[in-house]
Chain A
């Protein structure tokens, strides 16, 4: 079947012949490799995207189910290669090491600030509880996000 949905603000179509995840379609067919596959079962958050307003693991979403939906990936959070406030803060705080978890954290944190512009430290941690980072120990990520004030996008 052919599915049509909105990806990072633009209409796209994809051919879905097998029970394939949205993550695989994004990475293999639509060649947006920013979303990462690290566990393939929704535990690590490396593939986090925003689907119709909610942060989800794209490895757990069947591609066929996104017909007509709006999807935002890490490639869609910044415009024209300019970092948004979350990305800027993470860069400045040294919150990126290997970076494999980074796209998922950018997506989840951007969504947090869009819905709650002044999150507490606990709210920041709860919003990122589904994103595993193996390098940083999370300290720099928390420090980065605590620095953000005002609009993120």
Chain B
């Protein structure tokens, strides 16, 4: 990993920003001592389980809970009529029943929940609930849904001359399958009644304050009666933004007056969280003879499945980033997010930007081939830069947009040696005839917004205190594995000038919202709150004590310790800050406006070996350059890049939920393939650091860009190897061999 830096260097404090400080929770995780939601226990605890619809669409004729209640050890069986408050929930729109009572709209939709003395009994009882269904024809084709106006949102972007024409025109249809986040920890949680009608919830989440508000509404409680606690999370990638078992657990705990734990098994997890939207796209690109984009037209159809979740925002993102990081002054985009009886789709790393990248980058390669201009040169001639306007929204780009630097970096990185015999497509099992193997190289660039857009009041609260343990950053921002727990402490150290700092997660009653751990936003936004709180605290301390520096020893005056740290900690200093990013606005009827707070982009070069007879692919190597603003913890950034790339590789060559009439046919890890260590390419990453973002010390979010264009780059490399017009992700053996 290397870094090109034109950014400033902050104050040097041990463990501060810019160092690859080690994770504070790493040792506990390595010893097996870290408590995840799956590991929580309480005295007198019951187990919960869920009765789910076996049909993609059915009318509920009757529900008989008696057979379940008759099982020894069963304490409660609850249905929709037991929901004390709001019957519906949802992240952006409350349209999803806490428990279905009239009609089930997707396969696996919860109908009843039970609590019993052990997990096996709970699962047996859930299976014993007698639900009589009248099976209905599911609506599973998004194009039919659109024709029937079953839509969550339509998007329309019109910018510039709508009649412009290029001398070269390329066109294509593209498709992206439904990907699953597949975090290793399934949905899990523990709800503990407080004995006064309230409840404490410890559950997998990316956003405890939104869980809290949804639990409060559906249980009909006062906000102070529910406390949602951050807990140990085994990965997320978007799967944990929406409520799933949270309201159920709290209902069962309050109904039984006992703690209740629930853990989804893997098959349930595949129905228990939203997925990446499958997409169908049509594109037409016009360019002049020099390869400059004259006009881009696109149509994007995302299937939102049965309930709204974040489909509106994902569709908007797909449309806003449908041109990619390229200049173009004539743009027409139409998008639709459909409502069907497929599983609900919502947030997954990349959030709409991934799907369109598969389309627009295939188009750029078609232009490249048509014009005889190399893929990188073509992209460079169209590269967006700071000061340009976004091709879709027309928004002026004011923060770093180093597209040309990314392209130059990729072209300068060395290509790998010829193939390693141990890495033949299909593994070393002699399935592949090595003489048939063809190498291919492909490029792709991606772009995405950082933080929430379209006028959202996007903020995070953080509190910084000076204690005997050093500086303590209190936050409800969720650590899902990405390293927020490391980076917030680093920010506090650098801003305060104190080397002892730690992050403590506190529940919803103790601090305001940090917003969601999504949209690559926490380093910038909770990081921004931490930075500002730390700076204010330092300023107040120095002003009160008339000092000129704050260090581990205390306040310094003229280089001498004037007020020792022990005196400062006894004074009880603390500062709470609500940080907001620059305001955004909803787009107008043509999709125009200052819609986004910041952007990040990255580029990938994929090298693949393909066995064209068997249709097998080995992704040999991925080189990347990424716009990171400022890498606050370079090894953590590298971890995000390598992990994000592999999820992109998964979508490129193996990961797809197979649907049949609304039913997921591969809801196990045996059938839904995830990349193993043998599938993982070597990765070389170059971090491009430039000043200008409003994030702390100029940092940008880094979690999503690695996933956006890595998929498209792998597909481009397979096209390069095979010469085939491959137009979908994932690329299946039959797409290559047949």
Contacts and interface: CB of A to CB of B under 8 A. Distances in A.
Interface of A: 18, 27-28, 32-41, 43-44, 46, 73-75, 78, 81, 83, 87, 90-94, 96-103, 106, 122, 125-126, 128-142
Contact of B668 (A41, A90, A138): A41
Contact of A100 (B184, B237, B483, B646): B184
Nearest to A78: B31
A57 B29 CA distance: 19
B30 A33 contact: no
B182 interface: yes
Contact of A129 (B481, B676, B682): B676
Contacts of A40: 265-266
Contact of A94 (B119, B184, B638, B645): B638
Given A94-B20, A94-B636, A36 B643 contact: no
Given A41-B668, A137-B643, A139-B642, A132 B674 contact: yes
A100 B676 CA distance: 15
A140 B639 contact: yes
Interface in B235-263: 235-237, 263
Contacts of A78: 31
Interface in B667-686: 668-670, 674, 676-678, 680, 682-683
A137 B25 CA distance: 19
Interface in B552-573: none
Contact of A41 (B29, B647, B670, B676): B670
What is the predominant secondary structure among interface residues of chain B facing chain A?
loop
A16 to B, nearest CB: 13
A36 B31 contact: no
A34 B185 CA distance: 13
Contact of A139 (B20, B483, B680): B680
A33 B36 CA distance: 9
21 contacts: A33-B32, A36-B185, A40-B266, A75-B33, A78-B31, A83-B27, A96-B30, A98-B184, A99-B481, A101-B184, A102-B30, A103-B29, A132-B184, A132-B669, A135-B235, A135-B639, A137-B641, A137-B683, A138-B677, A138-B680, A139-B639
Interface in B607-651: 635-636, 638-639, 641-647
B80 to A, nearest CB: 29
Contacts of B95: none
Interface of B: 20, 22-23, 25-27, 29-36, 38-39, 119-120, 182-186, 233-237, 263, 265-266, 422, 480-483, 635-636, 638-639, 641-647, 668-670, 674, 676-678, 680, 682-683
A74 B32 CA distance: 6
Given A37-B38, A74-B31, 18 more contacts: A37-B263, A44-B669, A83-B30, A94-B635, A94-B636, A96-B23, A97-B235, A97-B482, A98-B234, A99-B25, A100-B36, A100-B235, A103-B29, A134-B647, A135-B639, A137-B643, A139-B682, A140-B639
Nearest to B633: A94
B31 A87 contact: yes
Given A18-B120, A43-B670, A99-B481, A129 B266 contact: no
Given A36-B184, A102-B30, A140 B635 contact: yes
A125 B643 contact: no
Nearest to B634: A94
A73 B33 CA distance: 12
A134 B26 contact: no
Given A34-B33, A40-B265, A140-B638, A131 B677 contact: yes
A139 B668 contact: no
A106 B235 CA distance: 18
A39 B668 contact: yes
A34 B677 contact: no
A97 to B, nearest CB: 4
A83 B33 CA distance: 12
A100 B643 CA distance: 14
Question: Could you say which of A129, A130, A132, A138 has the most chain B C-beta atoms within 10 Å of its C-beta?
Answer: A138
A137 B669 contact: no
Contacts of B639: 94, 97, 135-137, 139-140
B319 to A, nearest CB: 29
A98 B669 contact: no
Nearest to B233: A98
A73 B682 CA distance: 30
Contacts of A34: 31-33
Nearest to A33: B39
Nearest to B479: A98
A60 B32 CA distance: 20
A91 B22 contact: yes
Contacts of B676: 129-132
Nearest to A20: B120
Contact of B642 (A28, A41, A129, A137): A137
A38 B185 contact: yes
Contact of B678 (A36, A39, A125): A125
